[in-house]
């Protein structure tokens, strides 16, 4: 397995893996490149700062980035506490999604799913009374997909992204009420927070990352943690959910990525062979398996990219064929086009 210097340092800082890494006095090692690698993988730079100091390196640029991360994360935790307490107090049906380990990840926003339009309207009303302003999203976005920002200084304006359903742009990956029905109460930094079930959490992260054509190290480790913490992780439910909504490709890509990662860095996988076999019988999953055999089983570069022919061309045809007859034709057209809008945004870096 070919693993680059920056990626080895990233894994060592985040996952505690004892793989051989160079010292910080290596002339080929650039702090700026390391910071960029951590940012690309949603990892808080303070992890890198701690590692550097253990080797006797105290770089001013690195310290500044780490301090900025600390400030940002304090603000994010404050926002999560505020929004969670507010929605629970007002009895607004909601689920916070895509929340990663706060001591590890740098979260850029707070994502919340509110499936009932009337409940979302109440959420917007109570946020407005707290001084929030509202923005709508890009071309093709659902009209009820709203970004809420507080009237504070720009550098502290972490948004609350309100999703009216489990959809990425307009690609529908699940019905919102299903996610809400299986919700659970978790403690995030001591904050009582309503989050999806372990399986739904796994599924939402898989489909969202796949739609952006890349899986960060934080997302990979999040999947590992979900599987290991949930003693009765329901693989059959996850499989059926992906099959129902035409998302077996994204789910299996995530599973296969976690399987490869843990075998390379931990020596064993938390995913049983019968789970891999379950997906292996599906045609769209065989394409994913073929890709891994020719690519990710040979090298690891974080974030791990998804080829466009899989995530756009094949996914748009497979997903929309599955959803045909289950959603209005207008929504299906928007769903199909969402794949290519995501591709355009990725190419143009917007």
The reported pTM is: 0.95
pLDDT (0 to 100) of residue 190: 95
Verify that 73 and 149 share a domain, yes or no: yes
> Mean pLDDT score of the chain, rounded to an integer?
92
Verify that 39 and 169 share a domain, yes or no: no
pLDDT (0 to 100) of residue 338: 95
Q: Which of 70, 76, 39 is nearest to 160 (CA)?
A: 76
C-alpha torsion angle, residues 147, 244, 317, 290 (rounded to 10): 110
Verify that 134 and 58 share a domain, yes or no: no
- Which pair of tokens denotes residue 270? 């938390």
Q: Which residue has the higher pLDDT, 271 or 28?
A: 271
Maximum C-alpha span of the chain:
62
Highest mean pLDDT among 28-32, 143-147, 153-157: 143-147
pLDDT (0 to 100) of residue 55: 79
Identify the band that residue 286 occupies on the pLDDT scale cut at 50, 70 and 90. Answer: very high
**Taking residues 78-84, what's their average pLDDT?**
95
Model pLDDT for residues 225-279, shown as the tens digit of each residue: 999 998 899 999 999 999 999 999 999 999 999 999 999 999 999 999 999 999 9
Identify the band that residue 26 occupies on the pLDDT scale cut at 50, 70 and 90. Answer: low
pLDDT (0 to 100) of residue 153: 55
Of 51, 68, 85, the last residue of a domain is 68
Identify the band that residue 63 occupies on the pLDDT scale cut at 50, 70 and 90. Answer: very high
Verify that 57 and 203 share a domain, yes or no: no
CA distance 179 to 200: 7
Verify that 175 and 248 share a domain, yes or no: yes
> For residue 218, is pLDDT > 80?
yes
pLDDT (0 to 100) of residue 24: 63
CA distance readout (Å), 177 to 92, 166, 209, 281: 13, 9, 22, 29
> For residue 297, is pLDDT > 80?
no
Cβ-defined contacts of 67-75 (< 8 Å, 24+): 69/44, 69/45, 69/106, 70/46, 72/106, 72/158, 73/44, 73/102, 73/106, 73/107, 75/156, 75/158
Of 68, 88, 111, the last residue of a domain is 68
> For residue 137, is pLDDT > 80?
no
Question: Number of structural domains, the chain?
Answer: 2
Verify that 224 and 338 share a domain, yes or no: yes
Identify the band that residue 21 occupies on the pLDDT scale cut at 50, 70 and 90. Answer: low
Percent of the chain beyond pLDDT 70? 93
Domain that holds residue 333: 69-348
**Taking residues 315-333, what's their average pLDDT?**
96
Q: Which of 293, 212, 268 is nearest to 40 (CA)?
A: 212
Verify that 90 and 177 share a domain, yes or no: yes
pLDDT (0 to 100) of residue 116: 97
Identify the band that residue 58 occupies on the pLDDT scale cut at 50, 70 and 90. Answer: confident
- Which range, of 94-98, 101-105, 294-298, averages the lowest pLDDT? 294-298
**Taking residues 338-344, what's their average pLDDT?**
92
Verify that 58 and 104 share a domain, yes or no: no
pLDDT (0 to 100) of residue 270: 97
pLDDT (0 to 100) of residue 347: 82
**Taking residues 27-56, what's their average pLDDT?**
86
- Which range, of 28-42, 113-127, 164-178, averages the lowest pLDDT? 28-42
> For residue 120, is pLDDT > 80?
yes
Verify that 118 and 250 share a domain, yes or no: yes
Verify that 238 and 269 share a domain, yes or no: yes
Of 40, 68, 96, the last residue of a domain is 68
Q: Angle 129-68-100 (CA atoms, 0-180°, nearest 5)? A: 70
CA distance 214 to 236: 25
3-class secondary structure for the chain?
A: CEECHHHHHHHHHHHCCCCCCCCCCCCCCCHHHHHHHHHHCCECCHHHHHHHHHCCCCCHHHHHHHHHHHHHHHHHHHHHHHHHHHHHHCCCCCEEECCCCCCCECCCCEEEECCCHHHHHHHHHHHHHCCEEEEECCCCCCCCCEEEEECCCHHHCCCEEEECCEEECCEEEECHHHHHHCCEEEEECCEEEEECCHHHHHHHHHHHHHHCCEECHHHHHHHHHHHHHCCCCCHHHHHHHHHHCCCHHHHHHHHHHHHHHHHHHCCCCCCCHHHHHHHHCCHHHHHHHHHHHHCCCCEECCCEECCHHHHHHHHHHHHHHHHECCECHHHHHHHHHHHHHHHHHHHHCC
Verify that 39 and 133 share a domain, yes or no: no
Q: Which of 13, 12, 95, 81 is nearest to 47 (CA)?
A: 13
**Taking residues 199-208, what's their average pLDDT?**
98
In degrees and rounded to multiples of 5, residue 338 shows phi and psi of -60, -35
């Amino acid at each position: 397995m070919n693993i680059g210097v920056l990626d080895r340092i990233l894994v060592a800082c985040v996952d505690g893996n004892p793989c051989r890494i160079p010292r910080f006095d290596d002339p080929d090692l650039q702090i700026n490149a390391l910071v960029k690698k951590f940012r690309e993988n949603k990892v808080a730079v303070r992890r890198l700062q701690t590692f550097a100091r253990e080797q006797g390196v105290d770089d001013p640029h690195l310290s500044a980035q780490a301090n900025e991360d600390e400030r940002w994360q304090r603000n994010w935790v404050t926002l999560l506490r505020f929004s969670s307490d507010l929605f629970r107090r007002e009895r607004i049906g909601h689920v916070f999604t895509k929340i990663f380990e706060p001591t590890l990840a740098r979260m850029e926003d707070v994502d919340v799913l509110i499936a009932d339009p009337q409940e979302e309207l109440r959420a917007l009303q109570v946020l407005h009374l707290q001084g929030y302003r509202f923005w709508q999203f890009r071309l093709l976005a659902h009209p009820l997909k709203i970004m809420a920002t507080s009237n504070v200084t720009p550098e502290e304006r972490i948004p609350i992204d309100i999703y009216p359903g489990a959809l990425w742009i307009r690609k529908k990956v699940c019905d919102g009420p299903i996610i809400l029905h299986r919700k659970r109460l978790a403690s995030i930094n001591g904050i009582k927070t309503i989050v999806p079930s372990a399986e739904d959490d796994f599924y939402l992260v898989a489909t969202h990352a796949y739609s952006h054509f890349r899986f960060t190290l934080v997302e990979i480790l999040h999947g590992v943690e979900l599987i290991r913490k949930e003693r009765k992780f329901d693989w059959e439910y996850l499989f059926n959910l992906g099959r129902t909504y035409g998302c077996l490709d994204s789910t299996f890509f995530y599973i296969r990525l976690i399987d490869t990662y843990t075998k390379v860095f931990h020596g064993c996988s938390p995913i049983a062979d019968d789970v891999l076999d379950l997906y292996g019988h599906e045609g769209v999953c065989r394409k994913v398996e073929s890709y891994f055999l020719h690519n990710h089983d040979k090298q690891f570069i974080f974030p791990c990219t998804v080829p466009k022919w899989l995530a756009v061309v094949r996914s748009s045809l497979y997903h929309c064929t599955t959803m045909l007859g289950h959603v209005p034709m207008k929504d299906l057209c928007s769903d199909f086009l969402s794949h290519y809008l995501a591709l355009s945004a990725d190419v143009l870096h917007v």
